[in-house]
Amino acid sequence: MELLRQVAFAFGNLKEIKYRVVLSAGREKPREEILIDFCDEDLFHILGLQHLTDIELPKNKKALLHNINNGTITEGYLENSEYYNKGNEDYNIKQRIEMACCLEDFLDSEHFTVSVYKCQHENWTNIEADYLIICKKTSQDEEYYIFVRQRKETETFGIVSCFPKGNKPYWGGKRYLLLKEKILSNTSIVLFKHKNYFE
C-alpha cells in the first residue's frame, strides 16, 4: 500500500479514538485535563502540507482524507514539491508522513511527557498551541513533537502540528502526568496511572 494511503487508513482508525490526559502543575494547583480527538481537517497540518507552497493542493482541508483515498492526491504528486524530501531540514514532509503512519503508537507510548507550550520565536515558529507532547515509540527512537490546541467552541483538543525533534528544541511549562487513557467507543483503556492519582 502506498505510504499516503497507509496514513489515511491509520488516521481513519484514529477518528474512532480519544485520548484523555490528566496533568498536575504541582501541589495545591488545580488539575488540567486534555481530551484529544481527531477530525478530517487535522490531517492537513499533521502531515505539514501547508509547507508545500510550490504545488497546488485543494483548499478544503476537510476533504484531504477523501482526496487521498480516491487517488486525487498521491505521494507521487507530493514528490513534485522541493520541500517533500529535504533531508534533515525543517520541512521534510516525507519524514512527517512516515511518522504519521505511527501516530497512534506515539500517543500510546509509555515514553510520553506533556508541558504547557510556550511560543518560541527564536525557532522562527508561528505554531499556536496549548500543550506540547514529547514522545517516542521506544527508548531507542527519536523523540517526536506533538502540538495540541483546544478546538473553538468545544472542550476537546486537536493536533495542530507534529514532527520529529530534529535540531530545534521546543519546550514549555513542566507538567506531571497523572493519567493517560485511550477511549474507544465506550471502552476506556488506562495507558498510564500515577500511583497517587485518584478521580
Decide if 158 is inside a domain.
yes
Decide if 199 is inside a domain.
no
Query: 51: domain range?
Result: 3-193
- Coil, helix or strand for 63? helix
Residue 87 pLDDT class (50, 70, 90 cuts) = low
Decide if 182 is inside a domain.
yes
Share of the chain above pLDDT 70, in %: 94
CA distance 83 to 55: 10
Domain tally, the chain? 1
The pTM of the full predicted model, rounded to 2 decimals, is 0.90
Q: Look up residue 106 and give its three cell numbers.
A: 506515539
Sheet of 172-174, strand order = 172-174, 111-117, 131-136, 144-150, 157-164, 32-36, 17-24, 176-184, 187-193
Decide if 198 is inside a domain.
no
In the block, residue with C-alpha cell 508561528: 126
Decide if 35 is inside a domain.
yes
Reported as a single tens digit per residue, the pLDDT across 118-177 is 766 565 667 889 999 999 998 888 899 999 999 998 999 999 999 988 777 887 889 999
Decide if 57 is inside a domain.
yes
HEC letters along 65-96: HHHHHCCCCCHHHHCCCCCCCCCCCCCCHHHH
- Region 61-79: mean pLDDT is 91
**174 CB contacts (<8 Å, ≥6 apart)?**
25, 115
- Closest by Cα among 187, 4, 184 to 104: 184
Is the per-residue pLDDT at 35 higher than 70? yes
List alpha helices for 15-79, DSSP H: 42-46, 64-69, 75-78
Decide if 164 is inside a domain.
yes
Share of the chain above pLDDT 90, in %: 60
